[in-house]
Structure 1
Amino acid sequence: MVIYNVTVNVDASIHQDWLVWIKEHIPQVLSTGKFNRATLTRVLLDDNSGAFTYSIQYRAHSREALDDYYKDHAEGLRKAGAEKFADKMLAFRTELEFIDEYSVDFE
């Protein structure tokens, strides 16, 4: 499995509007059929700039599914956020290879 991670730094002036938007945007990305799950997390930073940083992790069905997403969907979906928030939002993307997952059950 490949995880497509999008880290976004959001200016405080648009933070609430962006949060509403991203919660609508994530289902749009999932509706492409290339991912089976997404997680939205806030990065906990001691940042005096007033900005907020988030990570959205999309779990792709396969490497091929992620490549198809790039080819068929990514540009249009990225453009929507860039047009709406311009320079008040900065995103960078990384790909992660899923190796294993562990959990502990407490009784």
Structure 2
Amino acid sequence: MIIYNVTTHVDHSVHDAWLKWMQEEHIPEVLNTGCFTNHQLVKLLETDETEGITYAVQYYADSKAAYNRYTSIYAARLRQAVADKWGDKTVGFRSLMQVVH
């Protein structure tokens, strides 16, 4: 199992709109690519929230090939949509993880 994690710091001024957009538009669009089987949206705790709130979305893929399909076909367009909509009001980074039992 592969976990594609996207951590995003969200400015207070757009927080509510961003969260609604993530839940109603962006996450469903990522899942509709067919590359991921599930997801989890979490809020990071014990972080400095002076300038905003930090979230992570974890998308679960059955294989590295499914993740690679996402990055090669869909990722650039979806990342650009985030940049176009939120500009410098969000800052994110991505990490790729593998479940170890």
TM-score by length of 2: 0.94
Q: Which runs of 5+ in 2 are unaligned?
A: none
Calculate the aligned-residue CA RMSD, in Å: 1.0
**Partners of 1:69 and 1:80 in 2: how far apart?**
15
**Partners of 1:21 and 1:81 in 2: how far apart?**
10
Q: Which runs of 5+ in 1 are unaligned?
A: 101-107
Matched, 1:71 2:72: yes
Shift of 1:50: 3.5
Shift of 1:48: 4.6
Check 1:67–1:48 CA distance in 2 against 1; reply closer, same or farther (3 A cut). Answer: closer
Identity %: 43
Aligned residue in 2 for 1:34: 35
Shift of 1:61: 1.8
Check 1:46–1:61 CA distance in 2 against 1; reply closer, same or farther (3 A cut). Answer: closer
Pair member with larger Rg = 1
Give the length in aligned residue pairs: 100
Give 4+ residue runs of structure 1 displaced > 3 Å after superposition. Answer: none
